[in-house]
Amino acid sequence: MIRYLRNRLLLAIPTLLGVATLIFFMLNVLPGDTVETMLRAEGGNPSVELVAAERARLGLDRPLIVQYGDFLAGLATLDLGQSHWTGKPVIEEVMLRLPITLQVAVLSMIVAIAVAVPLGTIAGLYQGSAIDYAIRIFAIGGIALPSFWFGMIIALVMLWSFNWLPPLGSPSLMTDPMRLLQQLILPAIAVGYRYSAILIRMMRSSVIDALHEDYVRTARAKGLRVARIVWRHVVPNSLLPTITMIGLEFALLIGSLVVIEQVFSLNGIGRLFIEAVSRSDFIVIQGIVIVLTVIFITVNLLVDLAYAAIDPRIELG
């Protein structure tokens, strides 16, 4: 187990390094320039000299390879550099905003899985029945509705029906969990719906596959009662592909979060990212992408551990 974790973490390093390198060169080799954008935003048409001076101040006039080395050296000490725009350390800005994003992510993941596993199982077991159609239509909604729009609509519905809007501010999980939940539940549902729709479809087709498997036929030939066949034989085997999907599609969840924070004015890492993109603040952009990748890799490691816990064929040796 420990060895497995160590090996997996070691394997994550090249991926992370790859992402860092890719993003660095994508941002620095491709056209587009922070300094000019920034100076333009301050008004007027900056002179060539001014731009050059500013670039020199930020160290952008050095050879690319030197900047890259600096960047990697910083990464090794968890230093993601300083924002060109605000001058604040990126890691500080990120840590300030990360909790709210993670809270929404975890909440929507819980909602999505809690909804998807039972619904997918029922739809698969009663394939072709009215309840299966109802669940499938529910799932199709999740696939087709853009999550940011769905977020707007549920917020509007809450407003019209109950004259209620999510509370503002930044309540803490420790001191005011209810207020926090009120603030986060709508965005969590908005992004969780799409995620759960994908999981429902996966679970449903896995259950249908499992029902055609030989071991389920064996279980029936043993004369087991339905609940035992479903609970002991069908569901655990169908969970395996669904768990894999949870890991793969987590990237999609992060993507939706970036947008949904804008809708609900949540001051999370997504807002920071959008701001950085619109200002071409490359240091912040690359810092956030690296943080998001770390989260993605961590979630996938957890998913693999969950998989191994169910499937004895996977050895954590």
Partner 1 sequence: MRNPFATAVSDGLWTEAPKHSGFLHRYVLGQPLGALGFVLIVAGFAVSLLAPFIAPYDPLATDYGNAVAAPSLAHWLGTDSFGRDLFSRILYGGRTAFLIGVSASFVGCTIGLFVGIASAYIGGWVEMIIERFLEILLAIPITVLALVLVSSLGRNLVYGIDLNLILAIALPIIPKMARVARSQALTIRSQSYIDAAVTLGFSDLRIIFRHMAPNITGPYLVLLTAFISQAILIEASLSYLGLGVTEPTPSWGLMLAGNAFNTAMTAPWIVIFPGVAIAVVVFAFSMFGDALRDALDPKARADR
Partner 2 sequence: MYSERSGMMEMGEVMEQVPAKTGASDDAPTLLLSVRNLNVQFRTNDSLVHIVRDVSFEVRAGEILALVGESGCGKSVSSLAVMRLLSDPKTTRFTGEARLLGKDYFALPEEDMRRLRGRDIAMIFQEPMTSLNPLLTIGRQIAEPMFEHLRLTASQAQVRAIDLLTKVGITDPERRLTQYPHELSGGMRQRVMIAIALACNPKVIIADEPTTALDVTIQAQILDLLQSLVREMNVGLVLITHNLALVARYADRVSVMYAGKIVESGTTRQVLETPRHRYTEGLLAAVPRLDVPRMARLQSIPGQPPSPRNFPRGCAFHPRCPAASEACRSQPELSATDKGQRYACIHPATAWLATTQTNTASDPANDRLVRAPVLQVRGLTKDFHLKRGGTVRAIQGIDLDVPEGGTLGLVGESGCGKTTVARTLLHLQAASAGTATFRGSNILSAGKSELLKLRQKIQVVYQDPFTSLNPRHRIGQTLAEPLLVHGLCVDKRAARARVEELLDLVGLPRDIAERYPHQMSGGQRQRVGIARALGMKPELIICDEPVSALDVSIQAQIMNLFADLQNKLGLSYLFIAHDLAVVRHISDVVAVMYLGRVMEIGTRAELFERPRHPYTRALLAAVPSLGDENRKSQAHAVVKGDLPSPLNPPAGCVFHTRCPIATDACRSTIPPAVALSQTHRVACIKAECP
Residue 291 as a binder of partner 1 (CB under 8 A): the answer is: no
Dihedral sign computed on CA atoms, order 193, 194, 195, 197 = positive
CB of 7 to partner 2, least distance (A): 12
Distance (Å, rounded) from C-alpha 202 to C-alpha 197?
A: 9
Q: Which residues 6+ apart lie within 8 Å of 174 measured at CB?
A: none
Residue 312 as a binder of partner 2 (CB under 8 A): the answer is: yes
* CB 203, CB 238: distance < 8 Å: yes
14 binds, among partner 2, partner 1, none (CB under 5 to 8 A by kind): partner 1
Pick the piece of the chain touching partner 2 (CB under 8 A) from 152-160, 173-181, 209-217, 252-260: 209-217
CB of 18 to partner 2, least distance (A): 21
Q: Of 245 and 289, which has the nearer Cβ to partner 1?
A: 289
Both structure tokens of 29: 């080799």
Residue 316 as a binder of partner 2 (CB under 8 A): the answer is: no
Q: Indicate which single residue of 65, 130, 221, 227 sits in contact with partner 2 (rule: CB under 8 A).
A: 221
What would the DSSP string read from start to end of 181-238? HHHHHHHHHHHHHHHHHHHHHHHHHHHHHHHTSHHHHHHHHTT--HHHIIIIIIHHHH
Residue 113 as a binder of partner 1 (CB under 8 A): the answer is: no
Q: Indicate which single residue of 259, 303, 305, 316 sits in contact with partner 1 (rule: CB under 8 A).
A: 259
Q: Which residues 6+ apart lie within 8 Å of 134 measured at CB?
A: none
Q: How many CB atoms within 10 Å of residue 50?
A: 14
Residue 52 as a binder of partner 2 (CB under 8 A): the answer is: no
Residue 254 as a binder of partner 1 (CB under 8 A): the answer is: yes
List interacting residues with partner 2 (CB under 8 A).
128, 213-215, 217-225, 228, 232-233, 236-237, 310-313
